[in-house]
Amino acid sequence: VEKMKPSAVIVSQFVYADSSQSDLRNALLTLQSISPNILLIENKPIFPDEKDFMVGRPLVMLPYQPPKSFSLSEMQIKDQNASNQLADWARENTISTMNFDSLFCTKENCARYGGSNWLYWDDDHFSVAGAALTIPQLVSFLQRF
């Protein structure tokens, strides 16, 4: 980043509730001193069955049939709260943030299947279809520079 001097830097990460945020915060401040246009992407919606979703099973076990959505009350929020804390800190330090929850969640539930596609590749990553949903927001950020 220091060598290339990009007009913007996009930082995507996953914040765990039981991890210290000090190193990440220091890294963001360092990046900001080099390139003032930093975008921090917040945690994506975290589904409660992450240990089973898109994880291979031994042949002797029945395949897992993942739900295409979960009610909002079932979603895992412990790590989401940590992400929210980091995002609040970032905004206080004039670092832009982006949250994709509204692309996947309503007031009632969160979907990881849309149209005819899974929106997640595994428990931690969007599929191509899920990532495509984020493009308008990312383009909007990048067009400012």
Sorting pLDDT into bands at 50, 70 and 90, what band is 17?
A: very high
**In 15-108, where does DSSP find H-type helix?**
22-34, 78-92, 101-104
pTM greater than 0.85 (yes/no): yes
Closest C-alpha to 65, from 49, 48, 47, 45 = 49
Q: What is the mean pLDDT of residues 28-52?
A: 92
Q: Which long-range contacts (CB under 8 A, 24 or more apart) does 131-136 make?
A: 133/100, 133/103, 133/104, 134/100, 134/103
Which tens digits make up the pLDDT trace of 59-110? 888 888 889 999 999 998 889 899 999 999 999 999 999 999 999 999 999 9
For residue 59, the model assigns a pLDDT of 80
What φ, ψ does residue 6 adopt, rounded to 5°?
A: -65, 155
pLDDT at 31: 95
What pLDDT is recorded for position 129? 97
Query: Distance between CA 145 and CA 125 in Å, rounded?
Result: 27
Q: Please check the confidence at residue 57 and state whether its pLDDT lies above 80.
A: no
State the Cα–Cα distance between residues 120 and 111, nearest whole angstrom. 10
Task: Indicate whether 124 pLDDT > 90.
Answer: no
